[in-house]
Structure formats: C-alpha cells, structure tokens
Structure 1
Amino acid sequence: MKYYGDLRSIITALDEMGDIMHVHREVDGDFEPSAITRRSYEIQSPAPLFHKVAGVAPGFRLFGAPAALSSRSDMPYARVAMSLGLAPESTGPEIIEALSAARFKPGIPPVRVESAQAECQQNILRGAEANLDRFPIPFAHDKDGGRYANTWGTLIVKTPDGKWVNWSIARVMKVDGKRMVGLIVPSQHIGQIWTQWVARGEPMPYALVQGPAPAISCVSGIPIPANADEADYIGTLAGEPVPVVKAISLDLDVPATAEIVIEGHVSIERDYQEGPYGEYGGYLGEGSSAQPTFHVETITHRHDPIWPMSITGRPTDESHTLWAMGLAADALTYLREAELPIKTTWIPEDSTVHWLLVVMPENWRERLPGVSSEALTQRIGEVLFKTDAMVFIPKVYVVDDDFDPTNLREVVWALSTRVHPVGRRAVFEDQRVIRLPQCYDEAEYVAGKGAKVVFDTLQTKRHLHASFAQGYPEEVRQRILDNWPE
C-alpha cells in the first residue's frame, strides 16, 4: 500500500503498470481530448495523457479518466484503490469497507506549509493574467452549453463563521476567461454553505483546485456527513496530514501539491445559465438553469501543469466507479449503524448509479430472530431514504450473498430469476427527487418528489446453482481442473 501525495506520482505508478496512454501528437482544443477519453472508458483502455494541446502554451497537459476502470483486467479498480492509498488489486467491496471504516476513526487535520514549499504556487497570476483562456479546457460533449472547467477538480468553500470547510466536486462551466458558472444544488453541502453567504449578502470565496493528490479528488466526490471536513477524513485514509497552503487572495487553505488553483468569489444570485451537460446517466443533456457566477481573480499553478478531466456518460467513468463506491459506502455505514447485519453494499457500474445492492449474509435470520424478509426490506428503505446520498438512487435490491455482486453477469442472472413480477417489494412514495436520475417523468421533477422502491429478492431456502462450482462432486471438479486444458 502506498499513498500518492500528488497527481504526478500516481500517473508515474500507473504508467509503470501499463495503464497510461501517452498522446504525443497535437490534439485540437475543442472535442478531441474528450472524445479520446470517452472512448477510453468504453473500451477500458489505459488512461490518456495529452502532452500537446492546440491553442495553449507548450507544457500544459490534460489527463483523462483518472479513476475509471483500469485496463488491467486482473485489477479493474486499481486507479480508485491506488488513489485512496490501497493496494491496486483491491476489490470493490474492500474499497467500500475502507471508505466506511475511515468514518469511524479520528480525523487527521491538514498541516499548513509556507508558500515557498507549495508546488501549487510556483506560478502566480493576478488581474488580467489570471485568465482561463491560457488553460486547455475542452468541450466535454458536443451538446454541452460550454467548455466545462470543472469535472474532476475540488471546490473549496467554508461557512461565514469558518467552522465548516467543505471540499467537493460539482460541475462548473467556463463562461469566458474571467467567469465560470457552477451547478449549486441547495441540498448538497456546497449549496448549504452558499446559502449562508447569500443570507449575509456577501459573495462566497472559493478555490477551484485541479489535480491535487488523487485521494483529495476521490473524497471530494463521495458523501461524508455534513459539518465534517474532508481534509481530516483524507488524512485518516492517508495515515498522514494533507499539506495545505494559504491561498494567495483568500482566507482559504488549498492543497499544496495541486497542479492549478483558481481563486475568486461566487455571486449571491443565480445570474447566469449553466448547461446543458452530458451526465452520468449516459445521456446528452438538454436545457439549462440559472446558477451563480464564479468570478476568477487569481490563478496559481505548477510548472507544466496537468489538468485532469472526467468525461461523464455511458459506463464506465468516475461516476460509476469512485462516486458509486462512495454512495455504497455511505449506505453501508448507515445500515450498520442501524444494527442491520449487512455483508456489503454495491452499485453495479452498468446501472449508472440507479441500482444499489444490499447483500445479506446467509445467517441473517439467526442474527435478526423473528424478522421476516418483508420487514427487513421495509427497514432498509426507512434507513436509506432518510440519507442525503440516496436522493440519487431510485432502486434498491436486497440480495443473498450466494453470487458475486461485482460481476454484472451474475447480478443479471440473480435479479432476473429472483425479482417477483408484482410483489415482494416495499414502495416509498413522495421521496425526494432531483433531475440527475433519468427514470422519473417531468411532473415528478417539477414537484421534486417521486417513488423509490426496495426489492426483496431473499430466498426462503437457498437453491443450489446449476454451475461448475455447485453442480458436481468436489473430486470430479478437482480432476477436471488438474487436467485443464487437455
């Protein structure tokens, strides 16, 4: 296990594993980097690193698919695992256990270093020089409302009283060299903090950090409890404090090893149209909405900076790996806190964060005497649908542990044979709905409410599988394996 303290060190490690695709020819600054990155997701190729982008100064680079599935079939979650300081061969459930376990450990606060020690402040741009046009920001999809300046960067904000510092990922669209517009959802943590600044009538200071230590990007994109500082949680995962430096123009601390830091203030009104944007559900966006403007005042960056990007869409990208694991870890944490004997939770990548599997151990009835599967299903829904993270997930499946929930072929087999056509489910009406999940109708989006469901697929009696593992005597299986292939 190794913790990577900056983006460059993990790129080097992935390169040594054969999981980096170096693109040395010049690519256009509009769609080509995004299209290459999108194809890399869909064919599960190495992550593309673009060394020469038209229209920007030599040395500026783009890095795509930073936490997607690895091209190494023997360690598919290596990019996520290594980003979090775990072994590259870690399984999905092992990553989820690590994310959940860290929430019960004391946080390790960040440590501030001097500006001279902070790589992110090797170059300081102020005034007219602090301009986004100098950076390689491509269009993510050809139907998007503009170039998206943030798809994998960390937004840092804090409450006016300074008691809560939030590090998060939210999409932010470039307007011009000095302005961006970002999606701020009131229920999300950045939305809660922005609302406090609006109540004071003051623009919210922000720092947009591109290319920090990979664990920072990952944790910024997963749910942890409100009023908890992501920096402390990252320190727990890393086993050491995150080095930070005071921003040049703001009272905010930013990761010292980051590639690029954009500093400024967010307007107190929703004064510019944001979107559309092709989102994680796998469809190109339609329409836009009024969102706050992010004014650009100061930019700092390392020499020859690297701008990372996540090009969301059909599986499998960072939304379906890292974010899905974070949501599953959040669900696992709350279910275990409710004293339910959950073995693991999992969101299949190909469900685009629309399914959650809650996996029960074989002895769950012994551990919950007198509780029926129907009552268990109801209780799971009651726990989950009170949490903020579950606003994204409309369908939950309570399943046995006699198949591999991370193997989509086995998931499809189990669900297709065990989901009852009309019964054995708990429906929860009038649940909170936002526009990002794709399965609701317009009236439900407008109302902000819709149904969610928990399917009870638990078997009253476990059936043996007609498979190689369960359909033949052990000595026959071993003899076949010893002579395979003949």
Structure 2
Amino acid sequence: MTHFKDLRSYLCALNDIGDLERITREVDGDLEPGAITRRSYETDAPAPLMENIRGNALGCRILGAPAGRSYVKTRPYARVALSLGLPATATIPEIIDTLIQTRALPGKKPVLVDADNAPCRQNILRGDDATLDSFAIPFAHDSDGGRYANTWGTLIVKSPDGQWINWSIARVMKIDCKRMTGLIVPSQHIGQIWQQWVELGQPMPYAMVQGTAPAIACASGIPLPAGVDEADYVGALWGEPIEVVKALSVDLEVPAQAEVVVEGHVSITRDAEEGPYGEYSGYLGTKSSPQPTFSVEVISHRDQPIWPLVVAGRPTDESHTLWAMGMTAEAISLMREAGLPITAAWIPEESAVHWLVVSVPNNWRELLPDTSSEELAQRIGEIVFRANSLIFIPRIYLVDDDIDPTCLKDVVWAIATRVHPERRRIVFSEERVIPLLHCYDADEYAAGKGAKIVYDTLQPPIGEGRLPHASFEQGYPAALRQQVIDHWPNATDQ
C-alpha cells in the first residue's frame, strides 16, 4: 500500500489521474467556494482547488470535495481509495474490507518528531495575531448560521486521565475571530470526553487540525469502537506510526504535516448558538442549538495553507462515500462478531445514509439452524439499532446474496418485488433518534425516540420455491450463454 503523509502529496496523486481542478481565477471569500464545491459533487467534477481567494492575506487555499466521488468514471471512489492507500481502482467492497481488516490489527502509537522542522510550524500566531480572520473560511450554504471553520478537519481531544485520545470530525462554526462553536453530540466520542471535563469543571483542551494526511481525515470521519485512538488505527493502516509534534499551548499532540493547527479550550457549558447548517440528509437547516464555545488561543500553519471544505447536502458528498463506508464496516464487524453469517452490506449513497442493505448467503439456514428469517431480521435490528455508532440508520433491508448491496439497480428491484406491503417487517418502536435524521416528526425529535424497521426480503431456499431470475445469467443454458458471449461484438464494432 502507498500512503500519503500529507495533503499535498495526495493532491499530486489526484492530479495525476485527472481528478483535480486548479482554479486560479479570483473566487470570493464568502459563498462562492461553497457553491463551487456543491456543484462539483452534483456533477462528479474533479476536486476543486481554489488558489486565489479574494481578501486572503496569507495566500490560504481551499480544497473542495476532498473525498467526494471521482470525476474518473472508471474509478468512482478513487479519492477515498487513495486516501486509504489503496489503488484508485478499488471498489466499495475492497475499501470496506480494508477498514474491517485494519480494525483487527494492533494499533501503532504516533511518534514524536522534531517540531522545529515540522511543516505545521512554519508560521506561529499568538495573541492578537492568532485570528481566524487571517484564513479563508467561507459560508458553506447561503442559509447557514455562520462560516463553518470545520467541515473536514480533525478535532483532537483527550480524556482528563489521558487514557483516551479521540480524533474526530464534527462541524464547527466561526463566531468571530477568536471564538467558534461546535456540534457536541452526547452519544459521540467527543461528546463523551467533553462530559468528563464538564464533570471536572474544567474547560476541555482541543486542537482543530486542517489539511491532514487524507487517511487521518478518513479515520476521523468513521465510527471506531470507544477507547480506540484513531491515530493508532491510521498507524496500523499505514504499517508505520503517524509523525506528531506537541501542541504549542495545550497538552495534546498534532500531526506534524498538517496545514493549519488551531489550539484552545472548549467551554463546559452550552453557551453559544450553533447553526443552522445544511446537512447530509440533503436539506438546508432552519434551526440552531446551544453548543459549547471553542476559544482560539494559538494558531500555526504551513506557508500558503490548504483548508479543506466539505459542503454537505444531497448525495453524493463525503457523508455518502467515506462516512457510509465507515458505518458499513462497523455494521458488518458488529454483526459478524455476534456470529451472524453476513455476506456483504452497504449504505446506498442515494439513501443519504438512511438505508442499510445487508445480504446473507444462500446457506444461512444451515449456518443458523432453527432460526427463521424473522428471527434473523430481529437479531440484525437489535445489533445495528442499539449501537451508538450506527444511530443514524433508521431502515435495514435484509436480502439474499443474489442482490448486490452496492448496486442500486439490484436494491431497488429487491425492494419493489420482495418487500411485502404489510408483513415481514420487524418494527422497533422506541429506538433512539437524533435531529440529523430527516424522516421523523417533531414530537419524536423532542422525545429522542422513534420507530426503526428491518424489512425481511429473504426468499425461500433454492429448490424450495425460490423463483429464478428472468435474466441472461439464469434464463438460458450455459452453453448458449457462452456462444452469445463469444460472438458478442466488441465496442469498436458497434
């Protein structure tokens, strides 16, 4: 595997495959970077690197869609694949298998390197000079409550006892040049660590790191078990530790190759209004919520730093590529650990992370004797719906492995022809829901409880009532199929 230790080498790799668009014309510093990034998602354009931001004294550049779907049609997940050190041609199952396999490897702790030569220390801003106004931080959407300083950066925090270091991605909105406010969800790991500092009555030290090695951003954006340090996971993925330096003002370590590092403390009360913000479900936000304040105390950065920008919305963006892959890997791992025979799974991008499709092998009845399909669906629902890391999933479709979960055409056909209008659905009526999901009523959001469902579409065993497909593969003798294939005209002959 070839891995990129910094963002710039990754951008060179994107450029080599034709998946990077350098925009040298002047771009405004308010809304245009968001609009460019959003259109790039919706047209599967190359990742836009905006190099000339109006009014930006530091020469800060903005990279849009850092892990979106690729412009190269034969390599749709090249950005995620390259980020993880895989070939640009890697498929969804290959990427998910890598995420699963890395979980089983022993982690590699980061290694401290000489801070004097670390790229992230090329420029150090303290006091009044440590201002967010020096950087190009645009609005993501026209109706957002503010400029979002963190959409693809890594937030680094540590439990008070120092035993758990969490690297994660969470949205953080700029309030002014010295303050930000971010979404701290209690069920997420950063929320659990923040609560420990709240109970101590001490503000939580943090570092917000922009422009990390792409694998660091990926690991920060996927669910890993509580207590697992994302930095150790990336070390296992790479086969060597991440190089870090000590933060300048707080007791944390940060990636040495980062583009920008912002340091400070997080308040112990929800004393600022965050939002609204357009989210991964595909709708513009209309509400704000009280969240803690992030103070800005010290900033360090590379020359002409690159600030990544993710603009969440209708599929497909990073929420529906990398995040969906991470949640799928988590779901498969949990189900297999529970002894369930899972062939594959996927969260279709078009579902905006609201569906999980799970397939099981034809012989699942032999592997789980005396188990009905309804009982299997029940067990899958209990595992997925009660995992903190998978709280975002409200619907599961359980299918036979003649359906490829990564092929939307297969999935739609299965849902249309195998979901009974009334029966064979397992309803979990009082499961946890959060406002980021977009399929519940106001009273359910207020209560934090709502229904989730598993659709059992499993067919009878082969030879016992299952109908064959009316398809080329199943509708004709093998010899005739081969004859047709042998005489099939090449594309150049058509």
1:270 match: secondary structure: coil
Amino acid at match of 1:47: A
User: What amino acid does structure 2 have at the position aligned with 1:301?
Assistant: H
- Code of the residue aligned with 2:393 in structure 1: it is I
Residue 138 (1) aligns with residue 138 (2): yes
1:302-451 residue pairs with structure 2 within 5 A?
A: 302-451=302-451
**What one-letter code is carried by the residue in structure 2 that aligns with 1:96?**
I
- Paired residue type of 1:211: G
Aligned pair partner of 1:477 in 451, 464, 481 = 481
For residues 48 and 362 of structure 2, what CA distance do their matches in structure 1 show?
A: 43
Matched, 1:63 2:63: yes
The answer to whether the aligner puts 1:229 opposite 2:229 as a matched pair is yes
CA distance in 1, matches of 2:225, 2:390: 13
Task: Please say if residues 52 and 58 of structure 1, whose CA atoms lie closer than 8 Å, have aligned partners that are also in contact.
Answer: no
Letter matched to residue 251 of structure 1: D
| AA aligned opposite 1:412 | V
State the Cα deviation string for residues 275-310 of structure 1 (Å, max 9, x = none).
000000000001101110101000000111100011
CA distance in 2, matches of 1:124, 1:261: 10
Q: Does 1:191 align with 2:191?
A: yes
CA distance in 1, matches of 2:246, 2:202: 21
Distance 1:265 1:380 in 2: 40
Q: Match for residue 126 of structure 2?
A: 126
Question: Which aligned runs of 4 or more in structure 1 are off by greater than 6 angstroms?
Answer: none
CA RMSD, 1 decimal: 1.1
List aligned pairs for 1:158-177, cutoff 5 A: 158-177=158-177
8 Å contact kept, 1:432–1:449 = yes
How far is 1:472 from its partner? 2.6
Per the alignment, residue 219 of structure 1 pairs with 219
- Quick one: which amino acid aligns to residue 298 of structure 1? V
* Correspondence for 2:44: 44
Q: Distance in 1 between matches of 2:444 and 2:208?
A: 33
Q: CA deviation at 1:230?
A: 0.7
Comparing 88-97 with 251-260, greater Cα deviation is found at: 88-97
1:58 Cα shift? Answer: 5.7
Check whether the contact 1:149–1:173 (CA below 8 A) recurs between aligned residues.
yes
Name the structure 1 match of 2:268: 268
- State the match for 2:290 in structure 1: 290
- State the secondary structure of the residue aligned to 1:236: helix
Residue aligned with 1:36, SS = helix
1:27-106 equivalences in 2 (<5 Å): 27-57=27-57, 59-106=59-106
Letter in 2 for 1:450: G
- Distance in 2 (CA, whole Å) between partners of 1:197 and 1:210 is 24
Aligned to 2:277: 277
Is this contact kept in 1: 2:385–2:394, CA < 8 A? no
Task: Show the counterpart of 1:466.
Answer: 470
Code of the aligned partner of 2:110: P
- Which runs of 5 or more residues in structure 2 are unaligned? none
**Structure 2 residue matching 1:416: 3-state secondary structure:** helix
Q: Determine the C-alpha separation between the residues in 2 that align with 1:478 and 1:73.
A: 28
Cα deviation per residue 1:64-113 (whole Å; 9 max; x = unaligned)? 10111111111111111111111211111111111112112111111011
Moved more, 366-375 or 392-401: 366-375
Cα displacement string for residues 14-57 of structure 1 (whole angstroms, at most 9, x for unaligned residues): 10000011111010111111111101101111110101001102
TM-score by length of structure 2 reads 0.97
For 2:475, the aligned partner's letter is: G
Answer yes or no: is 1:254 the counterpart of 2:260: no
Aligned partner letter, 1:122: Q
Letter of the 2:213 partner, please give it.
Answer: A
Aligned length: 486
Deviates more, 1:339-348 or 1:55-64: 55-64
SS at match of 1:392: coil
Q: Percent identity?
A: 63
Is the contact made by 2:385 and 2:393 (CA closer than 8 Å) also made in structure 1? no
- What is the CA-CA distance between 1:12 and the residue it aligns to? 0.4
